[in-house]
Amino acid sequence: MDRRSLIKTAGMAGILSLGVAPAVHAQPAIRWRLASSFPQTLEGIYGAAEVFAQKVNAMTGGKFTISVHSGGQLVPAFGVVDAVEQGTVEMAHTAGYYFFGKDECFAIGCTVPFGLNSRQMTAWMYEGNGLKLMQEFHAQYNIVSFPGGNTGAQMGGWYRKEINTVDDLKGLKMRIGGFAGRVLERMGGVPQNIPGGEVYLALDKGTLDAAEWVGPYDDEKLGFQKVAPYYYYPGWWEGGPQLEFYINDKAFASLPAEYQEIVKAAASHAHVTMQALYDARNPLALRKLVAGGAQLRGFSGEVLQEALKHSHDIHAELSDTNPGWKKIYEDYANFRKDQNLWFRFAEMSFDRFMQSQTW
């Protein structure tokens, strides 16, 4: 009796009683290093990489181990794309918009001003053309990419004075970068790009007039309300910022097929877990901030409309000068249009009603 017939007629219990085991493919022990762009103090953002590594380890029975290193430990925080591209490290966890200076297309994989919210971004990546288009783009840098978490909509930053009109932004020195910095500049502001650890002192001394960070859970740890009490919303430049896992293409291709699927599954798990953490912890952090002196303010319609106008102008200019941007952004914008058509009805109406309740 051959092996296949034996399995069919005897079943697993019979096979084991006969001392015959089905073939098991032994998987190799693999060790990777992951370079994060974030400090360990940012539990939510940095922590998504730890969640990913732990899940890979558990799903492979400890055979596939990934050590996670905070920004600067292995390579500079903003050097992770070069490190993955060159194979210096096997993978990284970062925010694509940090690298818009290399190519503005990197930012679309994270967020752009007045872009998709977090749910819409996940939908574009997994059910639209987002993952396909971004992976095609990243392949130019020897990178295989997967979504790696989302904070949800962020706050609009901390200000030493109130911002009521567009004129209040003129000459405003604000720690802000990427596309948001370009938009602010067109509105008369002065974008500044300084490390997070220097922001508090700069606000205290008046070297900065304002600074954007993330949202209540991360902001509450930094004490900005003591030196810049006006806390604005929404962060129109970060309506659904997505982090990404960047993997060296040769390293990924060398994995057994089962491990490749595990990497994909672990990335999805980390993606969902990060959003859940921020949604769960932001409310309490916001209460603490207000109790500590933060004064919540919403950006006026005038400010938002002016920012939207300049954002559209920049996006259109990039479509004229960057063919890669044009290809990806057109699909992104069309998806956003359909998503907003849907969200304005059931989703937004339900949210507006529920959030008006005092319970």
Alpha carbons 169 and 182: distance in angstroms, whole number = 13
User: Which among 164, 152, 281, 154 has a CA at the least distance from the CA of 211?
Assistant: 154
Distances (CA, A) of 83 to 79, 107, 168, 182: 6, 18, 41, 27
User: For residue 229, how far is the Cα from the chain centroid?
Assistant: 27
| Cα 293 → chain centroid | 29
CA angle centred on 222, ends 219 and 227, rounded to 5°:
100
> Judging by DSSP bridges, how do beta strands 64-69 and 30-36 pair with one another?
parallel
The pLDDT tens digits along the chain (359 residues) read 444 444 444 444 444 444 444 433 678 899 999 999 999 988 999 999 999 999 999 999 999 999 999 999 999 999 999 999 999 999 999 999 999 999 999 999 999 999 999 999 999 999 999 999 999 999 999 999 999 999 999 999 999 999 999 999 999 999 998 889 999 999 999 999 887 778 999 999 999 999 999 999 999 988 999 999 999 999 999 999 999 999 999 999 999 999 999 999 999 999 999 999 999 999 999 999 999 999 999 999 999 999 999 999 999 999 999 999 999 999 999 999 999 999 999 999 999 999 999 88
Distance CA 324, CA 327 (A): 5
Instruction: Sketch the domain layout of the chain as residue ranges.
Output: 30-151+240-280, 157-238+286-325
How large is the angle between the packed helices 178-186 and 301-321, nearest 10 degrees? 110
Strands (E), 136-236: 143-150, 157-159, 173-175, 190-192, 210-211, 230-233
Q: Output the CATH code of domain 30-151+240-280.
A: 3.40.190.170
CA angle 117, 118, 124 (to 5 degrees): 85
Q: Which two tokens stand for residue 15?
A: 């096979």
Residues facing 36 on adjacent strands:
93
Burial of 312 (0-12, 13-18, 19+ CB in 10 A): middle
Domains 30-151+240-280 and 157-238+286-325 share a fold: yes
Q: Which CATH number fits domain 157-238+286-325: 3.50.50.60, 1.10.10.10, 3.40.190.10, 3.30.390.50?
A: 3.40.190.10
**Per the structure block, which two tokens stand in for 112?**
């752009």
Position 149 scores a pLDDT of 98
Q: Are 224 and 211 in contact (CB under 8 A)?
A: yes
Phi-psi region of 243 (alpha: psi -120 to 50; beta: other; left: phi over 0): beta
Q: Which residue, chain included where needed, has tokens 């990404």?
A: 244
The whole-model pTM stands at 0.91
What is the pLDDT, as a whole number, of residue 14?
47
Q: Which two tokens stand for residue 201?
A: 């002192």
* C-alpha 223, offset from chain centre: 23
Q: What is the pLDDT of residue 27?
A: 83
The 3-state DSSP class for residue 51 equals: helix
Q: What is the pLDDT of residue 25?
A: 61
In a 10 Å sphere around its CB, with 0-12 CB exposed, 13-18 middle and 19+ buried, how is residue 10 labelled? middle
